[in-house]
Amino acid sequence: MTKFFSLAGVSLTLAMLAGCGDSTPSAKIGLNVELTGEMPAVGASAKNAAELYAEQVNAAGGLDVGGQKFPIKLVIADNAAKADQASAVAQRLIAQDNVLAMVGPNASSCAIPASSIAEALKCPMISPWSTNPKTTLNADGNGSKQYVFRACFTDTFQARVLAKFVMNNLKAKTAAVLYDVASEAPNGQANLFRETFEKDGGKVVSFETYTTGDRDFSAQLTKIKAANPDVIFLPAYYNDAPLIAQQARRLGITVPFVGSDAWSSPEIIKLGGADIEGSYFCNHYSTDIATPVAQKFMADYQAKYNQAPDDVAALTYDAMGFLGQAIKDAGKLDRQAVRDALSKIAKFDGVTGSLQFQPGSGDPIKSAVILQIKDGKFVWVANGAP
Amino acid sequence: MGEHVQYAQQAINAIQLGSIYALIALGYSMVYGVLTMINFAHGDLFMLGAFACLLIVALIPFQLPFVVVLLLVMIVIGLSGALIERLAYRPLRNAPRVSAIITALGCGLLIENTTLSLSPYARPMPQLFTSTSYHFAGLTISSLQIMIIGISIVLMVALDLFIRRTKYGMAMRAISFDSRTVPLLGIPVNRVISITFFVGAALGGAAGMLYGIAYPIVTANMGVLIGWKAFVAAVIGGIGSIRGAVLGGFILGGVEVLSVAFLPSTYRDLIAYSLLLVILIFLPNGILGKPPVQKV
């Protein structure tokens, strides 16, 4: 019994000592990202971009807050692309690690529950990549959340851009949709696309679903083939879309595929190969039409990580930049002050273009681009202006 | 596409999916038959089959024929299955059933998370088999589908012959009939059980490799959902019965595909599993299962 108590006592002391390790004052920013699970490439990009930003700021001495310079300290945690883990991580980062603000999650399924927690605990949150409108809207549908912002456009805008592209550029009158009913972003994108496409005069001839983790889509694709659409809309993440494309081609479906920004990881080319070639998708920025600011970011990212940054990396870099600007404007390391500073910024020029915020809204007005997968690369095809 | 052609196409899809479920369900039924224990690590052995294929192709510098790779994968995963039995399940042979099941779950999680830590990214499967699509009468069948269905049938028939025509097969059936008397007759129970696990795991590994070739993205958690579905299939067919596992696999594959064919695809899992629930209500031991006999 005494052995047990002494062991318990030693472990408790060690735990307490481990707890009070870091005493240098710093701007603690939490990173709630998808490092394992369905989309590890997304989390890796976000982590890389955030670390690049922190490194650049810290090399210059840190963030200038109220006359004093504070280094940025990143607290990185993995949400495994699961909603429950994202909530747990948000809780831990905000309540236990006492971060000043949280960047992420990226996947809308994770960002939506995490945003409820950030809002309840009054901690500013910026999602770099979550496009589902629900992330910044209150759960009851009335009004926007006060503490949640994003660095990207929303699905309402994206659906409009895609529907217009499909109608005008691809000259398609009918479309089929296949999406993951259990995942927030694809679900929202599919429904908004159908709404917008039909309002513009198009017809959705087949609207099929599957669940996260499914690999066999032959039944749904057989139905889609029978409906004979001009184009197939696949708002899936980069790990699902290649399988769907491959099975569709094997079944003899020849019409083009159109995807959403969920496709944007270069992993999709590695996993999709010839079957995904020629497909179009909507994205947040294009390396082909990069501004000087974007080109510098791309060069720095390439030099540090030996790969080109994807849109998640670019958006995370912008989210960090936006947050950094707000921390400087706030003048103190206080969540409420940072939140007020975030809501006062009307325009932030970043790597992915200019983020313009309307007062009271955490959703920036931004342009989109349509890219095509050609010869194993993402090629710019068209712009989608708001 | 005419109505009849569409149904025929869906039937082909159902048979392909069903044969993969059947191969995995066999592993569950075999182990349950001899040990009255559900090997919950089986789904992860399936996943290891796909990874083993990746590794073998990556490590061997020259091009091996498809069948050779399949046999190698089956041997490697079979040995892994037998190893797990030796290390994790044999010490618990006389422990309460619950302990063995929890250990199985733990083994599965261990395999899954070790693989996840070594390979967190989805990996593309190497092109071991170039598939050509055949179109006739409006139907499209790929040589890949034919190959998967063919190999599954060959493996199932081979297993059936093994169980019914060989001494070890007879020993397995004897152990599942009455495990306490068997050692008294001079049958090496431990060896037979190891062989059972070897065969069951080999089939699961083969299924994993075939699945990886059909749906060529390999992730560490690909075995979880499939494992549970194949377990359901084994129970529906009658857990412990080899023929029941095959039947259950095809029923599950068929129900999943046909519920998408005839109803909105969002209701697939609801319909499929409600139907299976109804089957179990009327046939609690599964379709080909036998109620456990209490011998005095």
Q: Which residue has the tokens 């299976």?
A: B276
Q: Taking CB atoms and an 8 Å limit, are A223 and B116 in contact across chains? A: no
Do A78 and A124 belong together in one domain? yes
Q: Using a CB-CB distance cutoff of 8 angstroms, which residues of chain A are in contact with residue B10? A: 219, 222
CB-based contact A250:A217 (threshold 8 Å): no
Instruction: Answer yes or no: do A141 and A161 share one domain.
Output: no
Is B278 inside a domain boundary?
no
Q: What does the pLDDT look like over B271-281, one tens digit per residue?
A: 888 988 898 89
Same structural domain, A272 and A163: yes
Does residue A378 lie within any of the structural domains?
no
Residue B38 lies in a domain: yes
Q: B233 and chain A: CB distance < 8 Å anywhere?
A: no
Would you call A40 and B257 a contact, using CB atoms and an 8 Å cutoff? no
Q: Is the entire prediction scored with pTM above 0.90?
A: no
Cβ contact A267–B140 (<8 Å): no
Answer whether B142 touches A (CB < 8 Å): yes
Cβ–Cβ under 8 Å, residues A222 and B140: no
Q: Do residues A149 and A58 share a domain?
A: yes
The pLDDT value recorded for residue A11 is 64
Residue B283 lies in a domain: no
**How many domains does chain B divide into?**
1
> Residues B59, B64, B67, B72: what is their CA dihedral angle, to the nearest 10 degrees?
-30
Are the Cβ atoms of B261 and A223 closer than 8 angstroms? yes
A12 lies in a domain?
no
Domain shared by A230 and A184, yes or no:
yes
Tell me: do A128 and A57 sit in the same domain: yes
Q: Identify the residue whose tokens are 């080319």.
A: A269
Q: How far apart are the first and last CA of chain A?
A: 70
Residue B82 structural domain: 3-221
CA dihedral A97, A100, A106, A110 (to 10 degrees): 50
Same domain, yes or no: A141 and A213:
no
The verdict on a CB contact (< 8 Å) between A216 and B260 is no
Residues on chain B touching A180 (C-beta within 8 angstroms): none
Spatial strand order of the sheet with A231-234 comes to A203-210, A174-180, A231-234, A257-259, A280-283, A368-374, A377-384
pLDDT at res. B1:
52
- The per-residue b/e assignment along B1-25, b for 16 or more CB within 10 angstroms, e otherwise, is beeeebebbbebbbbbbbbbbbbbb
- Does residue B148 lie in a domain region? yes
- A197, A243: one domain: yes
Q: How many domains does chain A have?
A: 2
The one-letter code for the residue type at A260 is S
Q: Which two tokens stand for residue A183?
A: 């995942």
- The parent domain of residue A338 ranges over 25-153+290-366
B112 touches chain A (CB under 8 A): no
| CATH number, domain with residue A210 | 3.40.50.2300
Q: Is A36 on the interface with B (CB under 8 A)?
A: yes
* B49-69: average pLDDT: 90
Model ipTM? 0.80
Task: Identify whether residues A146 and A45 lie together within a single domain.
Answer: yes
Report how far residue B81's alpha carbon sits from residue B43's, in angstroms, rounded to the nearest whole number: 11
> What length does chain A have?
386
Looking up tokens 């797990």, which residue turns up?
Answer: B84
Which residues in chain B are contacts of A36 at CB distance < 8 A? 116, 120
Contact at 8 Å (CB) between A217 and A178? yes
pLDDT over 60 at B208, yes or no: yes
**Pairs across A and B, CB distance < 8 A:** 84
Residues of A in contact with B260 (CB under 8 A): 208, 219-220, 223
Domain check: are A78 and A129 in the same one? yes
Both A317 and A329 in one domain: the answer is: yes
Query: Quick check: is B159 in a domain?
Result: yes
The answer to whether residue A10 sits within a structural domain is no
pLDDT in tens, A298-353: 999 999 999 989 999 999 999 999 999 999 999 989 999 999 999 898 888 899 88
**CB proximity A266 to B under 8 Å:** no
* Same domain, yes or no: A111 and A148: yes
Backbone φ/ψ region at A214: left (φ over 0), alpha (ψ -120 to 50), beta: beta
Residue B285 inside a domain? The answer is no
Q: Do A209 and B265 touch (CB under 8 A)?
A: yes
Which among A283, A312, A338 is the end of a domain? A283
Nearest CA in chain A to B266: A209
Best to test chain B binding among A215, A217, A221, A228 (most B CBs inside 10 Å): A215
Q: What is the pLDDT of residue A273?
A: 86
Decide if A206 contacts A198 (C-beta within 8 A).
no
- Pull the structure tokens for residue B131: 């598939």
pLDDT score at A6: 67
- What is the overall mean pLDDT for chain A? 90
Structure tokens of B248? Answer: 């259950």
A37 has a pLDDT exceeding 90: no
Inform me whether the pLDDT recorded for A85 exceeds 60: yes
Arithmetic mean of pLDDT, B246-258: 92
